[in-house]
Amino acid sequence: MKPETKINRRREEFPTLASGIHLLSHSLGPVPRAARESMIAYYEAWEHHTSEDAWATSWWEMSTRAGDRIAGILGGAPGSVQIQPNASIALSSVASCFDFNSSKRKKIVTSALDFPSMEYIWDAQSRVGARVEVVASDDGITIPLERLLKAIDDTTCLVALSHVSFRSSYRVDAQAIVERAHEHGALVLLDVYQSAGAIELRANEWQVDFLIGGTIKWLCGGPACGYLYVRPDLQKDLLPRLTGWVAHAAPFDFAPAPMRYPDSVRRFAQGTPNIPGLYSALPGLQIIEEVGVIRVQEESQRRTEWMIDFALEHGWKINSPRDVKDRGGSVMIYVGDGPEMVNRLGERRVFVDCRPGVGLRISPHFFNTDEEVQEAMAILSDLIS
């Protein structure tokens, strides 16, 4: 392995790490110790204030503040992120902005490597006039960039892809896709659930139109919330049909319809924000901000590179891209019986998961030591032989 970079792994702040080798950041990141105090602070705010006080003093603004912090991690400006219940709702909010039936642009370009919510939600839009084109993958691992670009034409309304695939860790070329889509007058949505917090994102520089994701994985925030980034200069053109009173310009007027949207990203809200979720997510966000995503990415690439070399030397099949620029933070290693191997690794205190047809999904994060990564791979070698 290349020499260790200087990084504060902050291991003592993650109690879960004492119970074994946690390589599951693509699924459930470990809880930061500070989340306990944060959740207690939530309880105390609820206990000591009347509900109106708690809303006035902090809860109402909390979603905006959390959104701005997530925007920073995405490489976006303050005011570009609205907290959502989860990533699927964030995607549905975007879908509800289009009127496929009355537009000449009916085509949604997605890919075979996206998360199933993507497929389900766009497929459901075909009932209201959308035409979905799913770009195929020949190997189940990658999709040639040219093939993705070729699918984008003047009938395309939106290109909606995973930035990093949950299935293979394949990373698409965001900049090239945005450029091609914008040349054809189409918008771009990237699902960054598997990249935010692991890979440096540049929402602003890419000029990407939408990003969706959530807190549970690489952001160490638990199953707290999703988020939706909308390019600031695009926001005012969109009127999501998936809406609610919190998205109104003056929610406390409790005015009758029609809906009046605010000139802010809050137009993509729906109802009451999940306040305990936000309390639980903030400590993880803070740690990622302090460690720095650029450093996390350097560490991730150094270790995933070593893992792939190790796997290939052992003759294992890698179901992730070989080239670091095409990859996110996970390495997928094919094994015949995934669930059985996950159990056997779990018995040896190595925590990973598996997906059908993919094999093991293994994800070192900044808090893992090099020794842990090496030990996990040695145990896997022991179990495979």
Residues 6+ apart with CB under 8 A from 69: 282, 285, 289
Strands (E), 16-77: 21-22
Interacting stretch for ligand PLP, rule CB under 6 A, among 29-37, 63-71, 81-89, 131-139?
81-89
Are 275 and 59 in contact, with CB atoms under 8 Å apart? yes
Q: Which range of residues in 70-78, 131-139, 143-151, 189-197 is near ligand PLP by CB under 6 A?
A: 189-197
Considering only 75, 214, 321, 338, the residue that binds ligand PLP (CB under 6 A) is 214
* Residue number, 191 or 299, with CB nearest to ligand PLP: 191
Sole window of 40-48, 80-88, 122-130, 198-206 interacting with ligand PLP (rule: CB under 6 A): 80-88
Which one of 84-92, 139-147, 236-244, 320-328 is the stretch in contact with ligand PLP (CB under 6 A)? 84-92
Using CB under 6 A, pick the residue from 80, 93, 125, 194 that binds ligand PLP.
194
Residue 214: CB minimum distance to ligand PLP, A: 4
Exactly one of 111, 117, 156, 330 binds ligand PLP (CB under 6 A); that residue is: 117
CA pair distance 247, 31, nearest whole angstrom: 31
CA-to-CA distance for 185 and 103, rounded, in angstroms?
13
Q: What are the φ/ψ torsions at residue 124 (nearest 5 degrees)?
A: -65, -30
| d(C-alpha 292, C-alpha 42), whole Å | 27
- Should residue 88 be labelled a site residue for ligand PLP when binding is judged by CB under 6 A? yes
For residues 147 to 166, the per-residue mask of contacts with ligand PLP, x marking binding by CB under 6 A and - elsewhere, is: ---------------x---x
When binding is defined by CB under 6 A, the residue of 76, 226, 329, 364 that contacts ligand PLP is 226
Examine residue 29 and tell whether it contacts ligand PLP (CB under 6 A): no
How many residues interact with ligand PLP (rule CB under 6 A)?
A: 12
Question: Of residues 310-349, which lie at the interface with ligand PLP (CB under 6 A)?
Answer: none
* 225: exposed, middle or buried (Cβ count in 10 Å: 0-12, 13-18, 19+): buried
**38: phi > 0 → left, psi -120 to 50 → alpha, else beta; which?**
alpha
Quick one: 88 or 110, whose CB is closer to ligand PLP? 88
Angstrom distance (rounded) from CA 39 to CA 277? 9
Q: Are strands 21-22 and 350-351 parallel, antiparallel or unpaired?
A: parallel
C-beta of 194: minimal distance to ligand PLP in Å?
5
Q: Could you say whether residue 274 binds ligand PLP (CB under 6 A)?
A: no
Q: Which is nearer to ligand PLP, 162 or 297 (CB)?
A: 162
At 64, list the tokens: 């905006």
134 burial class (0-12, 13-18, 19+ CB within 10 angstroms)?
A: middle
List, in sequence order, every beta strand (DSSP E) within 263-366.
331-333, 350-351, 353-355, 359-362
CA–CA–CA angle 13, 14, 17 (5° rounding): 135
Window 118-147: contact mask with ligand PLP (x via CB under 6 A)? ------------------------------
Q: What are phi and psi of 372, to 5 degrees?
A: -60, -45
Among 38, 80, 82, 86, binds ligand PLP (CB under 6 A): 86
Listed ranges 16-24, 187-195, 315-323, 348-356: which one lies at the site for ligand PLP (CB under 6 A): 187-195
Report the nearest approach of ligand PLP to the CB of residue 121 (Å): 10
| Site stretch for ligand PLP (CB under 6 A), options 135-143, 190-198, 319-327, 333-341 | 190-198
Among 76, 174, 191, 228, binds ligand PLP (CB under 6 A): 191
Q: Which of 17, 31, 87, 172 binds ligand PLP (CB under 6 A)?
A: 87
Sheet with 107-111: strands ordered across: 81-84, 226-230, 210-214, 187-191, 156-162, 107-111, 131-135
Asked whether the bond before 78 is cis by omega within 30 degrees of 0, the reply is: no
Q: What minimum distance in Å lies between the beta carbon of 269 and ligand PLP?
A: 16
**CA atoms within 13 Å, Cβ hemisphere of 247:** 24
List residues near ligand PLP by CB under 6 A: 86-88, 115, 117, 162, 166, 191, 193-194, 214, 226
